[in-house]
């Protein structure tokens, strides 16, 4: 049961993260590097998920979100409205 809950949370937050990544842009060079890291953690999450490492997959999503939020808070990233 816990496994199913974790899989569902990973799928839910992966989808939300993908939507956010499609709407966010770097404002400067620092933002470029921050965004690259967030995207790398997003890819890592998929890799871990495919290899049945669910905790690592979820952790990678958390790191990706953290990079995005920090980048926005420091004005290195900006969300664009579509």
User: pLDDT band at residue 63, thresholds of 50, 70 and 90?
Assistant: very high
Q: Is residue 18 part of a domain?
A: yes
Q: Is residue 63 part of a domain?
A: yes
Here the CATH number for the domain that contains residue 43 is 1.20.1270.90
Domain that holds residue 33: 9-79
pTM for the full predicted model: 0.92
- pLDDT single digits (tens) 3-21: 999 999 999 999 999 999 9
Q: Is residue 37 part of a domain?
A: yes
- pLDDT single digits (tens) 40-53: 999 999 999 999 99
Q: What is the pLDDT of residue 82?
A: 57
Work out the burial of residue 26: count CB atoms within 10 Å of its CB; fewer than 13 is exposed, 13-18 middle, 19 or more buried. middle
* Contacting residues for 38 by C-beta, under 8 A, at least 6 apart: 21, 64, 65, 67, 68, 71
Q: Is residue 52 part of a domain?
A: yes
**Are the C-beta atoms of 41 and 67 separated by less than 8 Å?**
yes
Count of the separate structural domains present in the chain: 1
Q: What is the pLDDT of residue 81?
A: 81
25: left (phi over 0), alpha (psi -120 to 50) or beta: beta
How far apart, in whole angstroms, are the C-alpha atoms of residue 6 and residue 23? Answer: 26
Q: Is residue 3 part of a domain?
A: no
User: pLDDT band at residue 70, thresholds of 50, 70 and 90?
Assistant: very high
Q: Is residue 43 part of a domain?
A: yes
């Amino acid at each position: 049961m816990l496994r199913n809950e974790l899989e569902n949370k990973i799928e839910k937050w992966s989808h939300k993260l993908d939507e956010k990544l499609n709407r966010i842009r770097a404002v400067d060079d620092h933002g470029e590097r921050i965004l690259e890291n967030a995207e790398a953690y997003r890819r890592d999450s998929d890799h871990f998920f495919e290899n049945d490492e669910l905790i690592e997959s979820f952790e990678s999503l958390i790191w990706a979100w953290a990079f995005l939020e920090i980048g926005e808070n420091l004005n290195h990233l900006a969300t664009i409205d579509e």
